[in-house]
Amino acid sequence: MQLPFLRFEGDEMRYWGMILLATVGTAILLGLGVWQVQRLAWKTDILAQIERKILAPAIDIPAQVSSARHDLLPVRGTGQYIGDDTVRVLVSQKIYGAGYRLINAFELSDGRKIMVDRGFISVRAALPAVPKGTGQVTGNLQWPQEIDSFTPDNDLAANIWFARDVAKLSAHLQTEPILLVLRNSSFADDLARPLPKMSASIPNDHLNYALTWFSLALIWLGMSGYFLYRSRNSKT
């Protein structure tokens, strides 16, 4: 039995070709949306693992430290800031605008010298003094990967840097290549606002991607239905 809307034999192939294209296109777009939902679940689990690692109880800084084993490790150390050489790393914060991360050398009670990323100040604020005396710092070890082909050269004359290169920073400040990103400290006179590492700073846009693909599938299906309707009624 021949369906009424296929009574025009010369248009039959084109009509079914449009149905096939509509079906395949919708299936592909829906498949991409489902894939992004699966990626969302995977990324959410990864971020939860990172968050648990970041917020785990802090331990003393290990005697032997490596980026492969100890990245994001929560640590604590007792000692004092040494020198008056404060490295300023240019950054931007959504609420506060442009500013600097302040990085200083820190001598632990066992004599080792590391670096502490004290946190953020606005470019409009005066450079706060380096905290004095002995105290405890708590945070996470980190080896940031912030350098790419667009990163400008550091302005060493003004001591303004454009990325936290741990190796270069340690050579400049004459410390071990160990960077502790501060979460809190006992130095009450430190005016920098800590910028601790948080999993929330890691992009997770898979939900938006999924909604985009599902929306495109709906649009594709709607447009295909419209063209099929026009094709059918143009011959009646």
Rounded Cα gap, residues 73 and 55, in angstroms: 9
Torsions phi, psi of 220, nearest 5?
-60, -45
Rounded Cα gap, residues 136 and 80, in angstroms: 8
Rounded Cα gap, residues 26 and 20, in angstroms: 10
Tell me the domain boundaries of the chain: 4-50+204-233, 73-196
* Spatial contact of 104 and 121, defined as CB atoms under 8 Å apart: no
Q: What is the model's pLDDT at position 14?
A: 74
Instruction: Select from 47, 41, 38, 42 the least CA-distant residue to 203.
Output: 47
Rounded Cα gap, residues 227 and 204, in angstroms: 37
Q: What is the model's pLDDT at position 10?
A: 52
- The segments of the chain whose pLDDT lies below 50 read 1-3, 5-8
Rounded Cα gap, residues 151 and 91, in angstroms: 12
Tens of pLDDT, residues 182-222: 999 999 889 899 988 765 566 778 889 999 999 999 999 88
Coil, helix or strand at residue 69: helix
Global pTM?
0.73
* Spatial contact of 130 and 86, defined as CB atoms under 8 Å apart: yes
Q: What pairs with residue 117 in β-bridges?
A: 103, 181
Q: What is the model's pLDDT at position 31?
A: 93
Q: What is the model's pLDDT at position 145?
A: 87
